[in-house]
Amino acid sequence: MREVDVGSGRALLIKEHGEFSAIAHKCPHYGAPLVKGVLSKGHIRCPWHGACFNIASGELEDFPGLDSLATFQVRVEKDKVIIRANKQALQAQKRSKPMSRCSAVINSNTGFSHVLIIGSGPAGLVCAETLRQEGFTDRIVMVTADRHPPYDRPKLSKVSLTQSVQDDSFTSCLYIVDDPRHTMSQHVAPDLQVAVVDVKMRAVTFVDGSRMEYRKLFIATGSRPRPMSYQGMDVANVFHLGTPDDANSIARLANNRNAVVVGTSFIGMEVAAALTDKAHSVSIIGIESIPFKKALGEKVGKAIMKLFEANRVKFYMLNEVSEMKGQHGEVFPKTLLLWVLSPGSVPASGFLKQSGIHMDSKGFITVNKAMQTNVEGVFAGGDVVAFPFPQRNNKKVNIPHWQMAHVHGRVAALSMMGKPAEVQTVPYFWSAMFGKSIRYAGYGEGFDDVIIQGDLEELKFVAFYTRGEEVVAVASMNYDPIVSRVAEILGSGKLIRKRDVE
């Protein structure tokens, strides 16, 4: 692979098995340089977040993201390789897949939708996009309790937390604002919360009393903050981070205050890192002894904890909140303290308890390979589901990754249209703290050993998570593109054994 100048822009020139191709040089998701990615068997995998693209067609083959790559003509004349590129495509770099227009009359007051999508996260958005890309022309309605159209939720807890307050908006994260390709294709109904799902009548009743019938239903309601119990729950200036409005409020109110984050989840730690530039001080309360111990292991968790301590973050571990003391209705003392609660999450499925849709003991909606529930015509995806995972012999698991929700949305849409599909991807997630990124691929639940290469002290390392003799996941920092490389191997169905790593 070689990144080359084509006059009006740059392109990625690729030679594989003697054949040349040229595509856009940046990943359309977050702009990663694809020349640093992984080339394998006709596709390229992004070095940052694992998205895959076909090098001949530019088509998006695996998530995250929504767009495909621009492609350019290549010909060889003697010892020269000549690229011919459309200037507009060269400058845009990305391209959207063509989508069918809705042939039904779009009327927000119509109480019927051929496909009703509950939730506006990545699962719901990709479901709607895939239906249109595959030629579906009937009515699609997406309802969401959020007042915003679909947006890039991972940015809420990262650097954008501190940027969002500048213009008091989050349009930089929104997928479909000012983008007619979406709004012309389906109706998005914000600020609408579901109260009851009646699967016999194929109808949904909303909290405001309105009702909508459907033929196919896709539930992608995600998760909600885990309920906490402590004295003083009515005290103000206590926030859960769930929406752009929350992010803006936290960023604005944190100025020169003492910010306290409750919980050491990835979101909580990202918020803490983002607030260090704004708050007078940042403290973290966690019930574990080390952050990320369960997900990344003790050694990696300790290294990340040191990074936070070096940035003046104070930890109160093996602790939890028992009481909030307030003065004049706000956390005490009034001018100094901001609490950001991040104690984890639970599936947002409470409204389904009497529906007949099957859920497991933890409240996750159980689905089959096609993302269909036990009820015909009702599908589900994203953080709210437990689905059969091929790399664990189809054991039903919950993997709350942004990338995985994209996959669920696509599989559900194809299944609705009678096209055989199932989840075939390697879970991939990332986290950003203090300008450093953690990348992770695989499913490490239940790992029993961690093999670390590199230097934990310098935060330049790769950690291989093993169960028995098999590598089940990998995490890295400053070691690109190793995680995408491992994801490529695992995605091809090959095993990586402990001895191979050692």
Find, among 120, 155, 44, 224, the residue nearest to 430 by Cα.
155
Q: Using 50, 70 and 90 to split pLDDT, how confident is the model at 332?
A: low
Q: How many other C-beta atoms are found inside a 10 Å radius of the C-beta of residue 375?
A: 17
What CATH number did the domain enclosing 475 receive? 3.30.390.30
Q: Are residues 161 and 72 in the same domain?
A: no
Number of domains in the chain: 4
For residues 17 and 79, membership in a common domain is answered with yes
Q: Report if residue 134 sits inside a domain.
A: yes
Task: Looking at the structure, tell me whether residues 124 and 213 fall in a common domain.
Answer: yes
Residue 233 lies in a domain: no
State pLDDT tens for residues 106-128.
454 556 779 999 998 999 999 99
Q: What percent of the chain has pLDDT over 90?
A: 65
pLDDT band at 230 (very low <50, low <70, confident <90, very high): confident
Is there a single domain that holds both residue 273 and residue 286? yes
Same domain, 259 and 338: yes
At 293, the amino acid letter reads K
Q: How far apart are CA 312 and CA 306, in angstroms?
A: 10
Instruction: Report d(CA 162, CA 165) in Å as an integer.
Output: 6
Give residue 73's domain range: 2-95
- 146 plus 179 within the same structural domain: yes
Q: What is the mean pLDDT of residues 351-356?
A: 93
- pLDDT confidence tier of residue 151, bands split at 50, 70 and 90: confident
Shared domain check, 195 and 62? no
The stretch 131-157 carries a mean pLDDT of 87
Backbone phi and psi for residue 61, each to the nearest 5 degrees, phi listed first: -105, -25
- Give the pLDDT confidence score for residue 153 in this predicted structure: 84
**What's the token pair of residue 138?**
């009937």
- Measured CA to CA, the distance from residue 474 to residue 451 in angstroms comes to 9
Strands 449-455 and 436-442: unpaired
Query: Which has the higher per-residue pLDDT, 448 or 154?
Result: 448
Return the SS3 of 52.
strand
Q: CATH number for the domain including 156?
A: 3.50.50.60
The pLDDT value recorded for residue 329 is: 67
The answer on 153 and 82 residing in a single domain is no
- Residue 15 CB burial class (10 angstroms; 0-12, 13-18, ≥19): middle
Buried b / exposed e over 402-412, threshold 16 CB at 10 Å, is bbbbbbbbbbb
Instruction: Check whether residue 319 and residue 361 sit in a common domain.
Output: no
CA distance 304 to 459: 8
Peptide bond into 64 cis (omega under 30): yes
Residue 294 belongs to some domain of the structure: yes
Regarding beta strands 38-40 and 2-5, do their DSSP bridges make them parallel or antiparallel, or are they unpaired?
A: unpaired
Cβ-contact 181, 99 below 8 angstroms: yes
What's the half-sphere exposure (Cβ side, CA atoms, 13 Å) at 31? Answer: 2
Could you say which of 318, 343, 368 is where a domain stops?
A: 343
CATH code assigned at 28: 2.102.10.10
pLDDT of residue 113: 77
- Paired tokens of 346: 């639970």
Name the residue among 41, 18, 23, 19 with its Cα closest to residue 33. Answer: 23
| 171 within some domain | yes
The answer to the question of residue 104 being in a domain is no
Same domain? For 206 and 269 the reply is no
Model confidence at 310: pLDDT above 60: yes
Residue 214: pLDDT band with limits 50, 70, 90: very high
Task: Mark which of 48, 63, 95 sits at the end of a domain.
Answer: 95
Mean pLDDT of the chain: 88
Q: Is residue 218 one of the residues assigned to a domain? A: yes
Instruction: Indicate whether 336 belongs to any domain.
Output: yes
Is 260 inside any structural domain?
yes
Determine the pLDDT at residue 47. Answer: 97
Last residue of a domain, one of 416, 447, 472: 416
pLDDT of residue 323: 84
pLDDT of residue 110: 53
Same domain? 175 vs 212: yes
Q: Under a CB-based contact definition with an 8 Å cutoff, are residues 95 and 60 in contact? A: no
Rounded-to-integer distance, Cα 57 and Cα 70, Å: 8
Verify that 10 and 84 share a domain, yes or no. yes
